Amino acid sequence: MLDKNDVLAVLDLIRPSLMADGGDVKLIDVTEQGEVIVELTGACKGCPLSQMTLANGIERILKERVPGVMRVVPAEEMQ
């Protein structure tokens, strides 16, 4: 099972890059199936490149650094 604290620690490493562009990321939940549910905020919310940020940035880094992460899902998809 994923450790939420491990996910938070990696998001803290990613956060400065997002903040440099006026955005941020908020952890919503971590599921037993290895899904990390996040919400992009600030300039990242609604940005046309947000899907690329999730897939090529946040998801890739989380998969590299936190065993068990299968995918990163934007919170809007879960509603």
pLDDT tier for residue 73 given thresholds of 50, 70 and 90: very high
Structural domain containing residue 26: 4-78
**Structure confidence at residue 16 (pLDDT):** 95
Q: Please tell me the pTM assigned to this model.
A: 0.89
**Structure confidence at residue 30 (pLDDT):** 96
Domain holding 60: CATH number? 3.30.300.130
At 8-65, the pLDDT tens digits run 999 999 999 999 989 999 999 999 999 999 999 998 888 888 888 888 899 999 999 9
Q: How many domains does the chain have?
A: 1
**Structure confidence at residue 79 (pLDDT):** 59
Closest CA to 65 of 6, 21, 17, 12: 6
